[in-house]
């Protein structure tokens, strides 16, 4: 089983991947199946016995375990028979690349899926690409799920795999993220804007374990009209996506800022619901009506008010963004992306000096319609939508300007392009 996370592989890349797995497993290359799992870009708002043998194109070593081994969460340790939460601000074993495969087994085992067949696999991402901020973790998790399911003849729908990948990250690795990333990877379609309702409910009986229960995974695909602004064909021909890399790398599981923001949003929701007489409702901001926030936001501490302000304003931007995309208004769509980036900085207070500088450089680049952090904004890269005719010019501008401000970080981006010009792709699948 070859597992490829990143861009759609060329025929030569597929041949190399099949040959690599054939050498590892002793099978014929034609028997090798390949799983492709794309990175996530969000403009608004991963054999013959029971053995698993994995090698990576990015990391050293080999991972071996059995699919019938019981997998326990990596962020929980056993001390004197009691569960003890490990400090996620310190680098832990879950950061090792093989633990995403173990996490996939954990999630499948949890739902009672019969796993009898392991895989010999080789996993690699897009060559020379720093995938920080593109949800490579969700892409990898989904790739492993699809690989194990294919090897064991399991038929699993995308919504089930969204829940399985949530379990990998929330329960196995201890990251308190939601379901947007894996949903985008599994539900998207080429040329469309994917709109998802990720409303979830969290168990309050044991908040330390943070086990969210998905209420809805409603989604719809928004197809753009033909573009009128001097462009021929569909909207996809009018723009390109720029990914500008900062040189910053840190796993979200080792960054306390991400989980802290989740807790702050929950606290804001709790106080707003209490103020409106709805304290029995699950304390998440999706359960708070906008008018309740407006009526009671003065009762929140400044930081909590900012977090809630970002949540409600971002929801509004998403709705406006859907309308702009459906009407082919790239100018308005870009402005909403930029406003999202600004709110991430001012209200959600993520990012750091290099990322903020990169964001500001993108806004000055020729032909850029809008820019924001890619992903959580605690590491990685920024994205921008740019006029297709000026994408090369914009990429060179961003690269040169960022090197002036952050020469040391820019020097870390030595295996691939500092700025990547790309297009939207299709969803994850077995090919």
Residue 198 has a pLDDT of 67
Axis crossing angle, helix 99-110 with helix 136-151, rounded to the nearest 10: 60
pLDDT of residue 87 exceeding 60 = no
- Per the domain annotation, does 122 fall within a domain? yes
- Per the domain annotation, does 66 fall within a domain? yes
- Per the domain annotation, does 169 fall within a domain? yes
Residue 95 has a pLDDT of 42
Average pLDDT over residues 69-98: 52
- Which helix (H) or strand (E) segment holds residue 325: the answer is helix 302-327
Average pLDDT over residues 121-139: 68
CATH code at position 136: 3.30.230.10
pLDDT of residue 317 exceeding 90 = yes
For residues 396 and 21, which has the higher predicted lDDT (pLDDT)?
396
Residue 216 has a pLDDT of 53
- Token code pair at residue 108: 């499948």
Residue 136 has a pLDDT of 72
pLDDT of residue 91 exceeding 50 = no
55: containing domain: 11-75+94-221
pLDDT in tens, 205-227: 444 444 444 445 678 888 877 64
pLDDT in tens, 152-206: 999 999 989 999 999 998 888 887 777 888 888 888 887 788 887 766 544 444 4
Residue 347 has a pLDDT of 94
Mean pLDDT, the chain, integer: 79
Top-ranked range on mean pLDDT: pick from 130-134, 139-143, 303-307:
303-307
- High-pLDDT (> 70) share of the chain, %: 78
CB 44 within 8 A of CB 340: yes
* Structural domain total, the chain: 1
Residue 89 has a pLDDT of 38
Lowest mean pLDDT among 32-46, 265-279, 405-419: 32-46
CB 190 within 8 A of CB 425: yes
CB 381 within 8 A of CB 409: no
- Per the domain annotation, does 356 fall within a domain? no
- Per the domain annotation, does 108 fall within a domain? yes
pLDDT in tens, 365-387: 999 999 998 866 666 789 999 99
pLDDT of residue 85 exceeding 50 = no
Residue 256 has a pLDDT of 60
Annotated active-site residue 426? The verdict is no
b/e map 306-343, b = 16+ CB within 10 Å: bbbbbbbbbeebbebbbebbeebbbebbbbbbbbbbeb
Q: What are phi and psi of 250, to 5 degrees?
A: -165, 130
| Beta carbons within 8 Å of 407's beta carbon, 6+ residues apart | none
Residue 40 has a pLDDT of 73
CB 379 within 8 A of CB 250: yes
Residue 366 has a pLDDT of 97
Top-ranked range on mean pLDDT: pick from 59-63, 176-180, 400-404:
400-404
Left if phi > 0, otherwise alpha if psi is -120 to 50, otherwise beta: which for 125?
beta
pLDDT class for 360, splitting at 50, 70, 90?
Answer: very high
pLDDT class for 308, splitting at 50, 70, 90?
Answer: very high
Top-ranked range on mean pLDDT: pick from 51-55, 253-257, 276-280, 291-295:
291-295
- Per the domain annotation, does 39 fall within a domain? yes
d(CA 73, CA 109): 12
Taking 3-state DSSP, the helix, strand and coil percentages for the chain, each rounded to the nearest 5, stand at 45, 20, 35
- Per the domain annotation, does 285 fall within a domain? no
pLDDT class for 94, splitting at 50, 70, 90?
Answer: very low
d(CA 286, CA 283): 9
pLDDT of residue 132 exceeding 80 = no
pLDDT of residue 117 exceeding 70 = yes
**Closest by Cα among 147, 88, 104, 157 to 122:** 147
Average pLDDT over residues 14-37: 85
- Per the domain annotation, does 365 fall within a domain? no
For residues 258 and 381, which has the higher predicted lDDT (pLDDT)?
381
Residue 393 has a pLDDT of 96
Q: What is the DSSP string of 207-253?
A: TTT--EEE---EEEEE---B--SS--SBGGGTEEEEEEEEEE---GG
Left if phi > 0, otherwise alpha if psi is -120 to 50, otherwise beta: which for 189?
beta
Name the catalytic one among 28, 181, 387, 389.
Answer: 181
Residue 283 has a pLDDT of 87
pLDDT class for 415, splitting at 50, 70, 90?
Answer: low
Top-ranked range on mean pLDDT: pick from 82-91, 137-146, 236-245, 359-368:
359-368
pLDDT class for 8, splitting at 50, 70, 90?
Answer: low
Average pLDDT over residues 3-20: 73
pLDDT class for 229, splitting at 50, 70, 90?
Answer: very low
- High-pLDDT (> 90) share of the chain, %: 34
């Amino acid at each position: 089983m070859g597992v490829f996370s990143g861009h759609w592989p060329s025929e030569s890349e597929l041949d190399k991947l099949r040959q690599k797995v054939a050498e590892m497993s002793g099978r014929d290359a034609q028997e090798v199946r390949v799983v492709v799992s794309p990175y996530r870009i969000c403009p608004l708002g991963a054999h013959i016995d029971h053995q698993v043998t994995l090698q990576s194109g990015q990391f050293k070593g080999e991972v071996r375990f059995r699919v019938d081994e019981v997998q326990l969460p990596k962020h929980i340790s056993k001390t004197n028979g009691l569960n003890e939460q490990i400090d996620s601000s310190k680098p832990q074993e879950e950061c090792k690349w093989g633990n995403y495969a173990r996490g996939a087994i954990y999630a499948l085992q949890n739902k009672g899926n019969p796993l009898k067949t392991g895989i010999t696999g080789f996993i690699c991402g897009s060559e020379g690409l720093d995938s920080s901020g593109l949800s490579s973790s969700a892409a990898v998790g989904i790739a492993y799920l699809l690989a194990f399911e294919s090897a064991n003849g399991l038929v699993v729908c995308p919504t089930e795999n969204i829940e399985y990948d949530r379990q990998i990250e929330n329960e196995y690795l201890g990251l308190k993220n939601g379901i947007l990333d894996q949903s985008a990877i599994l539900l998207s379609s080429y040329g469309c804007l994917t709109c998802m309702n990720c409303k979830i409910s969290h168990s309050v009986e044991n908040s330390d374990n943070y086990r969210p229960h998905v209420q809805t995974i409603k989604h719809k695909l928004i197809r753009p009209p033909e573009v009128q602004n001097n462009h021929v064909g569909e909207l996809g021909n009018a723009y390109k996506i720029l990914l500008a890399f900062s040189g910053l790398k840190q796993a979200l599981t080792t960054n306390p800022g991400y989980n802290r923001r989740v807790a702050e949003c929950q606290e804001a929701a709790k106080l707003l619901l209490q103020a409106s007489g709805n304290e029995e409702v699950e304390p998440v901001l999706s359960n708070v009506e906008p008018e309740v926030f407006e009526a009671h936001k003065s009762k929140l501490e400044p930081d909590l008010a900012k977090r809630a302000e970002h949540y409600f304003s971002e929801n509004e931007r998403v709705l406006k963004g859907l309308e702009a995309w459906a009407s082919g208004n790239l100018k308005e769509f870009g402005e909403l992306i930029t406003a999202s980036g600004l709110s991430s900085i001012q209200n959600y207070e993520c990012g750091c000096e290099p990322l903020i500088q990169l964001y500001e450089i993108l806004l000055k680049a020729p032909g850029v319609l809008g820019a924001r952090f890619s992903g959580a904004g605690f590491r990685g890269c920024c994205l921008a939508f740019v006029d297709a005719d000026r994408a090369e010019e914009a990429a060179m501008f961003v690269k040169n300007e960022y090197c002036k401000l952050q020469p040391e970080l820019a020097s870390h981006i030595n295996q691939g392009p500092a700025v990547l010009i790309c297009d939207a792709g299709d969803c994850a699948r077995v090919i």
